[in-house]
């Protein structure tokens, strides 16, 4: 039987397990990436593991999220990351070099290799045929130390693209359509592979937009073949040596398949507050717009920026609109400047931001109260912009640019002919903002600022897990609900005790108080709980508050792994109607917890008593035997220290 692209890469990197969907496998990791908002924690954990030098082929630490230095906290964390990476063999991409995913695909990604990143959009490098997976910081720390990465073997989903994009339709519209079809939980437990004769018209930056936003499907990752388009891109980046051909076998078997005719695709838009709330732009055309943000790791490539500049050239941004543009990398910024496109943007009235995540993670540019904000980002989760009352819509750079001029949401199809942009034969190369690790690690002193506080470490699983239902949440609770991140909170990513006071506050402002007053407790949630980011803080903050278990209808992949790594029990209702039978503040008890968790790994249900209602219900804990041991030890760090 033939293999898919990702099955081929997994087979080559397989350390343990069999490639049967759902069963636990472990793979060798070639490269890792971290960014600063998850990186401080990842490097603290790497230090705790105690491996002197990274054992990967390449590890890079980016500074791109926390770049508003409104106090000493960000700068201190940057210094910590710069020194800790220098000591342990990791390259350091300085602030100003760009957004991690954009820089990594330009300068470091390699087709056929594996990449583990402490950021959910790590799959961006799937655009060049790399198996690139987002994970929690601790999993990345273990991979840097040479340890395997464990994951359930994913199912294979093929998206077959035929034809060629019609004028004004873009890669963003492809992934928005896929999100409309599959929803934000449609990719859980799957790898999405792209194929078909439509591929030959899609450039690497366009492919990267699609694999990047595949994170919003909940997919393990997304991947394109490595073909002549990939080769041309790597050649233009001066990295032709990195190219290998890679495609699925003719007789590869997929568990699911979707067909998309690119020529029929029209500009799409995701309405508030979910990336799968997708309609045609025409359905909301005419809505007045207050803010337009162009950038983020989804749409900040040179191609995207050149399109925007061509649309803005000679025009003026509508007086009621604030337009901000953040190019994705120093390379993009430099080339925009050299060719005069930057002048066209500035001339039209765009406010140019540094090449970083910026507004995408609420680091500045929070819109006004009740604003309509049009963004080229990948996520429009509730309150993520920093303004809870704002309505954030997700669009392509083309829709964003024409709407910024018109002042209302506009379908560009009515705008005339689209600009014709071609990939450059050569990109401008200058890696002078990537600092190499020290030749003599002993000479490097790691600098730790006062913002770095010890992070909570769980204790071994007690015989009885008992606690009150602190909160009962609905479906699709995101990590932005669990551990909000914005300009006020992001600077505290190395200070979990501080962050814990904001845990789950977008859903229940009293959650931290209730947790503290009750000595911790249990969270109850609906389906797809913990979707979105890889931030471990969404497990660490509940741990800090004494949360012992989370019972839901279903979990998102990375968050569930983060809960396990921190020794918090992830349980799912065996009968989803039991969700309706729990009320907030009901006291729950899991008797014989260690025994029940051990048996859960073999498929047995976990029995829970509702002491308040004097009833019982069954849950499942969908874990492997290895994960059961981690839970018994009270988390991965304890498990590793115990020498397992």
Q: Which of 65, 88, 481, 557 is catalytic?
A: 65
- The yes-or-no answer on residue 304 being catalytic is no
- Of the candidates 585, 572, 371, the one whose C-alpha atom is nearest the C-alpha of residue 467 is 585
Residues whose CB falls within 8 Å of the CB of residue 35, separated by 6 or more in sequence, listed in order: 61, 62, 63, 64, 65, 100, 117, 118, 119
Near ligand MIC in 133-192, by CB under 6 A = 134
121 or 307: whose CB is closer to ligand SF4? 121
Is 466 an interacting residue with respect to ligand SF4 (CB under 6 A)? no
Closer residue to ligand MIC in complex, CB, 365/633:
365
Q: Which of ligand SF4, ligand MIC, none does residue 554 bind (CB under 5 to 8 Å by kind)?
A: none
Residues 6+ apart with CB under 8 A from 292: 317, 321, 322, 323, 324, 373, 374, 375, 400, 401, 403, 404
360 forms part of the interface with ligand SF4 (CB under 6 A): yes
Q: Which does 535 bind (CB under 5 to 8 A by kind): ligand SF4, ligand MIC, none?
A: ligand MIC
- Angstrom distance (rounded) from CA 281 to CA 411: 6
Three-state SS across 576-630?
HHHHHHCCCCCEEEECCHHHHHHHHCCCCCEEEEECCCCEEEEEECCCCHHHHHH
113 binds, among ligand MIC, ligand SF4, none (CB under 5 to 8 A by kind): none
Of 410 and 479, nearer to ligand MIC (C-beta) is 479
Known catalytic membership, residue 379: yes
Is 478 a residue that touches ligand SF4 (CB under 6 A)? no
Report the distance separating Cα 247 and Cα 303, nearest Å: 25
Question: Measuring CA to CA, which residue among 406, 383, 369 is closest to residue 289?
Answer: 406
264-291 core/surface letters (b: 16 or more CB in 10 A; e: else) = ebebbbbbbbbbbbbeebbebbebebbb
Rg, the chain, Cα only? 23
Alpha carbons 209 and 299: distance in angstroms, whole number: 6
Query: How far, in Å, are 145, 391, 536, 569, 636 from residue 473 at the CA level?
Result: 37, 22, 20, 17, 27
65 vs 78, beta carbon nearer ligand MIC: 65
φ, ψ for residue 464 (rounded to 5)? -120, 130
By the rule CB under 6 A, 361 interacts with ligand SF4? yes
Q: Confirm or reject binding of residue 544 to ligand SF4 (CB under 6 A).
A: no
**Phi-psi category of residue 120: left, alpha or beta, with phi > 0 → left and psi -120 to 50 → alpha:** alpha
Among residue numbers 290 through 319, which ones bind ligand SF4 (CB under 6 A)?
296-297
Judged by beta carbon, residue 220 or residue 485, the one nearer ligand MIC is 485
Tell me which residue of 188, 149, 189 sits closest to 626, measured CA to CA: 149
Q: How far apart are the first and last CA of the chain?
A: 36
Stretch that binds ligand SF4, among 228-236, 357-365, 408-416, 438-446 (CB under 6 A): 357-365
Handedness of CA 277, 283, 289, 292 (dihedral sign): positive
Set 104, 121, 375, 379: catalytic member: 379
38 binds ligand MIC (CB under 6 A): yes
- 212 with 123: CB under 8 angstroms? yes
* Shortest distance (Å) from residue 392 CB to ligand MIC: 13
Among 7, 120, 183, 334, binds ligand MIC (CB under 6 A): 120
- What is the per-residue binding string for ligand MIC in 45-84, x denoting contact by CB under 6 A? --------------------x-------------------
Active-site annotation holds for 65: yes
Residue 239 annotated among the catalytic residues of the structure: no
Q: Is 64 a catalytic residue?
A: yes
What is the per-residue binding string for ligand SF4 in 193-212, x denoting contact by CB under 6 A? --------------------
126 contact choice in ligand MIC, ligand SF4, none (CB below 5 to 8 Å, kind-dependent): none
Helix, strand, or coil (residue 194):
strand
Active site residue 207: no
Which residues in 119-158 contact ligand SF4 (CB under 6 A)? 119, 121
Q: Residue 489 contacts by C-beta under 8 Å, 6 or more apart in sequence?
A: 499, 502
Q: How far is the CB of 192 from ligand MIC (least distance, A)?
A: 17
- CB closer to ligand MIC, 267 vs 367: 367
- Binding partner at 306 among ligand SF4, ligand MIC, none, C-beta below 5 to 8 Å by kind: none
* Ramachandran class of 508: left when φ > 0, alpha when ψ lies in -120 to 50, beta otherwise: beta
- Residue 374 CB, shortest distance to ligand SF4, in Å, is 16
Cα→Cα distances 120→9, 14, 218, 403, Å: 20, 22, 9, 29
User: Which of 393, 390, 391 lies closest to 369, judged by CA?
Assistant: 390
Give, as ranges, the residues between 421 and 480 that touch ligand MIC (CB under 6 A): none
495 binds ligand SF4 (CB under 6 A): no
Binding mask 70-109 for ligand SF4 (x = CB under 6 A): -----------------------------x----------
Closest by CA position to 375, among listed 471, 479, 300, 457: 300
Select the binding partner of residue 387 from ligand SF4, ligand MIC, none (C-beta < 5 to 8 A, by kind). Answer: none
Q: Between residues 525 and 530, which has the closer beta carbon with respect to ligand MIC?
A: 530
Contact (Cβ atoms closer than 8 angstroms) between residue 54 and residue 138: no
Residue 365 interacts with which of ligand SF4, ligand MIC, none, CB < 5 to 8 Å by class = none
Binding mask 520-539 for ligand MIC (x = CB under 6 A): ------------xxxx----
CB under 5 to 8 A by kind: which of ligand MIC, ligand SF4, none does 277 bind? none
Which residues contact ligand SF4 by CB under 6 A? 65, 99, 119, 121, 296-297, 357, 360-361, 377-378
Which residues contact ligand MIC by CB under 6 A? 37-38, 65, 119-121, 134, 361, 485, 532-535
Catalytic residue annotation: 64-65, 119, 379, 533, 535
């Amino acid at each position: 039987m033939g293999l898919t692209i990702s099955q081929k890469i997994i087979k080559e990197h397989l350390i343990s397990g069999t490639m049967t969907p759902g069963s636990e496998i472990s793979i060798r990791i070639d490269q890792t990436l971290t960014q600063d908002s998850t990186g401080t924690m990842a490097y603290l954990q790497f230090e705790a593991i105690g491996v002197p030098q990274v054992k990967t082929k390449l590890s890079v630490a980016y500074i791109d999220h926390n770049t508003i230095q409104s106090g000493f906290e960000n700068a201190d964390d940057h210094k910590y990351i710069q020194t800790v990476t220098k000591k342990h063999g990791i390259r350091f991409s300085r602030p100003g070099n760009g957004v991690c995913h954009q820089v990594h695909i330009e300068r470091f990604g390699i087709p056929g290799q594996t990449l583990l990143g402490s950021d959910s959009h790590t799959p961006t490098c799937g655009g060049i045929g790399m198996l690139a997976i987002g994970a929690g910081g601790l999993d990345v720390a273990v991979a840097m130390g040479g340890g395997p990465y464990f994951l359930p073997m994913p199912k294979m989903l093929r998206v077959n693209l035929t034809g060629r994009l019609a004028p004004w339709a873009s890669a963003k519209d492809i992934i928005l359509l896929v999100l409309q079809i599959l929803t934000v939980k449609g990719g859980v437990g799957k790898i999405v592979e792209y194929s078909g004769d439509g591929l030959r018209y899609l450039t690497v930056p366009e492919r990267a937009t699609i694999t990047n936003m595949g994170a919003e499907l909940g997919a393990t990752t997304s991947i394109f073949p490595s073909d002549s388009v990939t080769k041309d891109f790597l050649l233009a980046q001066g990295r032709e040596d990195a190219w290998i051909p890679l495609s699925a076998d003719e007789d590869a078997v997929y568990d699911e398949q979707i067909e998309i005719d690119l020529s029929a695709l029209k500009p799409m838009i995701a309405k508030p507050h979910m990336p799968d709330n997708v309609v045609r732009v025409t359905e909301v055309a005419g809505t007045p717009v207050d803010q337009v943000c162009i950038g983020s790791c989804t749409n900040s490539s040179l191609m995207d920026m050149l399109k925007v500049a061509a649309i803005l050239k000679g025009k003026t941004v509508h007086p009621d609109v604030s337009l901000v543009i953040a190019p994705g990398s120093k390379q993009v910024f430099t080339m925009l400047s050299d060719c005069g496109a930057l002048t066209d943007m500035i001339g039209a009235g765009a406010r140019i931001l540094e090449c970083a995540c910026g507004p995408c993670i609420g680091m500045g540019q929070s819109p006004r109260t009740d604003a309509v904000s049009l963004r080229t980002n990948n996520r429009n989760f509730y309150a993520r912009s920093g303004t809870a009352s704002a309505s954030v819509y997700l669009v392509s750079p083309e829709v964003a640019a024409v709407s910024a001029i018109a002042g209302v949401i506009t379908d560009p199809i009515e705008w005339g002919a689209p600009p014709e942009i071609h990939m450059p034969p050569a990109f401008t190369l200058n890696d002078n903002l990537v600092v190499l690790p020290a030749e003599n690690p002993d000479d490097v002193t790691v600098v730790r600022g006062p913002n770095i506080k010890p992070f909570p470490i769980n204790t071994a699983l007690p015989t009885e897990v008992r606690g009150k239902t602190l909160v009962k949440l609905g479906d699709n609770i995101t990590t932005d609900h669990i551990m909000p991140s914005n300009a006020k909170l992001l600077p505290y990513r190395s200070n979990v005790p501080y962050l814990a006071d904001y845990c789950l506050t977008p859903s229940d402002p009293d959650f931290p108080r209730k947790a503290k007053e009750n000595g911790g407790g249990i969270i109850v949630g609906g389906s797809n709980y913990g979707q979105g980011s890889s931030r471990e803080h969404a497990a660490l903050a509940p741990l800090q508050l004494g949360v012992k278990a989370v019972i839901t209808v279903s979990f998102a992949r990375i968050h569930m792994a983060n809960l396990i790594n921190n020794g918090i029990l992830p349980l799912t209702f065996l009968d989803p109607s039991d969700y309706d039978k729990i009320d907030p503040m009901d006291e729950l008890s899991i008797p014989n917890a260690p025994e029940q968790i051990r048996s859960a790994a073999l498929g047995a249900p976990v029995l829970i008593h509702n002491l308040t209602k004097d009833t019982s219900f069954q849950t499942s804990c969908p874990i492997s035997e290895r994960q059961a041991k981690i839970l018994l030890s009270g988390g991965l760090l304890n498990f590793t220290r115990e020498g397992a």
